[in-house]
Amino acid sequence: MRLLIEKSGGEFKAGLAALEDNRRPAAREKFDRSIEVFLMSGINLNSNNNSRARECYNQLIETIYRIEFPNDKQAPQIRGLSATCNWNIDNAMADKIAKRVMTAPLAEPNLDTNAVQPVSNDLTQGFVEQKFERSALDVLATLELNTIELDVDTPEAQQQIQYISYAVNNNSLGLKFQVHPMIQQYINYYQGRGRSTMETGLYRSGMFMRMARRIFREEGVPENVAWLGQVESMWKPQALSWAAASGLWQFIPGTGARYGLRRTAYLDERNSFEKATQASARYLKFLANRYNGNWELAMAAYNSGEGNVDRAISRAGVANFWIAYPYLPKETRNYVPNILATILIANNPRAYGFGNVRPAPQLTWETVLVPPGTSLSFLAQVSDTSVDFIRYLNPELRAASTPPEPYVVRVPSGKGAEVVAIFRRVPRASQNTAKLTKSVAGESWQNVSNRTGVAVEDLIAANGGAKTPPSKIVVPNSNNVRSTSYQRPTSQPQTTAVASFVTVKARAGDTITSLAKRFGVAPADVANANGFTDVNAKLAAGRAIKIPKR
């Protein structure tokens, strides 16, 4: 557990350093990685045995949220996060960044879901706005190998070239290709200045490679061709290139539509995990058949289109990638040997010096069918997670709700049955506008009514006529609602319009229980009023906490 928290802290501190240098896309990536460390660990953050990790994770989410979306009343508690997680963040840096994000006016977010927001280096626009990440292809298009990388006459390079010949001749990779010095040159690149790129790709491949291999195998495409995804997107489902190619497999809109990937105001299936992977495999199979099983030409056409490859073949006079090479676009000339080098390294990482890279755990989920126009906020509540993680699992969704049709969404593993049960229990009219709260053992409907301000009969109706409060209670939208309590905790002070609570500031070392005891109220009521599930959760000094009036 200690190593897990330290790893997350390393990513968060790197994000702070990038933010201090006004490198906001890098900051966003590092902050996302700091959260991914917890999400991909497989640990149960709700377990009492993992209370320290849970406290660290909850405050990490809150702090990143406050950095990205600051307001004039609540600064990001970077010092408090450092203390909770024991990260030893430099206080001067923490205060400097907190002050800058507090004093920098934020632009209103662009709500045009069809627009890709530009990346600015001005901190006054927040550290990042757009939801897309730069495609690996944009870097590949301009890559120039240096003299060291071009040298394939070293003893080590010659030995590796012999291994390539052996692997191809024995068909151990599942596909045939011509051995060419340029493949080794890209291996040289990845063993040198491109090392971090390869390490990142090998790490992230763990999340999607098992799925990709299965789908490629089912579609009759050699499984190792799936490593094309690493060169295309670095396994980032929301990668976007300058040419408007998007997703793990970098489909441009036209090709995506050709293979059945829908684009509407609500979704862009080029960013889907399974659908885009299947479309990619089918397109590659079509291209391989077009070029009589020549995978080098098929990959080239995947990158630049059949027309460019056909013209290059016509000029070369033979259907051979390396002979047609001079007549292809520069990006495509880099692209094919890059993929072949990636396949070779990925199949024998230790031999190429990457034995230290441990792939990320497979990204797992369960799927559920939800009603048309389901709010992602409500879906996050019923599946015990955040809207950010719902979007992470469903990158094809472009709006704040699912499409206006019954739609299959991914939810965290282990939550599918519970989500289905709640949707079956809750009337359609109560979904999306409602909030959730958790019941306390032995609590009656009258107790719930007292603390939420919603009539007993309305609560029962919104919960499918349940005779006793279930563990998760749907609280229908009402002007009288006082405590809905199941959203992610917020540090913003409450407005004076809520007359049934007083707002106090937590002291250093306070917990929900100690605060409740100080004011003579039940810990469960304080927890419910502030969105906590753990009454022993430590609170950052100065955090605004609602206390129910007695």
3-state secondary structure labels for all residues of 140-200: HCCCCCCHHHHCCCCHHHHHHHHHHHHHHHCCCCCCCCCCCHHHHHHHHHHHCCCHHHHHH
| Rounded (10°) angle between helices 2-20 and 78-85 | 160
405: phi then psi, degrees, rounded to nearest 5: -160, 155
Which residue do the tokens 């009603």 mark? 371
CA distance 343 to 331: 18
Contact between 152 and 181 under an 8 Å Cβ cutoff? The reply is: yes
User: Token pair of 319, please?
Assistant: 């259907």
Amino acid (one-letter) located at 518: R
CA distances from 88 to 37, 58, 92, 93, 418 (A): 18, 18, 12, 11, 39
What does the pLDDT read at residue 489? 34
pLDDT by residue for the chain (550 residues), tens digit each?
A: 888 899 999 999 999 998 888 787 778 778 877 877 876 666 666 667 788 888 888 788 778 867 765 655 567 889 999 999 999 999 988 988 888 776 553 222 332 222 222 222 223 223 333 345 555 666 666 788 899 989 999 999 899 999 899 888 888 899 999 999 999 999 999 999 888 889 989 999 999 999 999 999 999 999 999 999 999 988 988 787 766 788 889 988 888 899 999 988 888 899 999 999 999 999 999 999 999 999 999 999 999 899 999 999 999 999 999 999 999 988 899 999 999 999 999 999 999 999 888 888 888 899 999 988 888 888 988 888 888 889 889 999 988 889 989 999 999 988 999 898 888 887 776 666 677 788 877 788 988 888 888 889 888 888 888 888 888 888 887 544 444 443 333 333 232 223 356 888 888 888 888 888 888 887 766 766 665 645 676 787 777 787 877 6
Q: Which residues are catalytic?
A: 232
User: Token pair of 183, please?
Assistant: 């493949």
Give 441: exposed, middle or buried? Use CB within 10 Å, 0-12, 13-18, 19+: exposed
What does the pLDDT read at residue 487? 37
Pairing status of strand 366-370 against strand 407-411 = antiparallel
Amino acid (one-letter) located at 443: E
CA distance 354 to 530: 46
Which 8-state DSSP code applies to residue 280?
H
What does the pLDDT read at residue 97? 87
Three-state DSSP class for 392?
helix
Amino acid (one-letter) located at 539: L
Which residue do the tokens 């405050």 mark? 59
Which 8-state DSSP code applies to residue 33?
H
What does the pLDDT read at residue 532? 60
CA distance 442 to 477: 24
User: Token pair of 241, please?
Assistant: 């290139």
What does the pLDDT read at residue 133? 57
What does the pLDDT read at residue 499? 31
CA distance 484 to 475: 7
504: phi then psi, degrees, rounded to nearest 5: -125, 165
What does the pLDDT read at residue 442? 79
User: Token pair of 462, please?
Assistant: 């919104």
121: phi then psi, degrees, rounded to nearest 5: -95, 10
Which residue do the tokens 């409500």 mark? 378
Count Cα neighbours of 242 within 13 Å in the Cβ-side half-sphere: 8
Tally Cβ neighbours within 10 Å of residue 495.
Answer: 7
CA distance 354 to 368: 38
Contact between 225 and 216 under an 8 Å Cβ cutoff? The reply is: yes
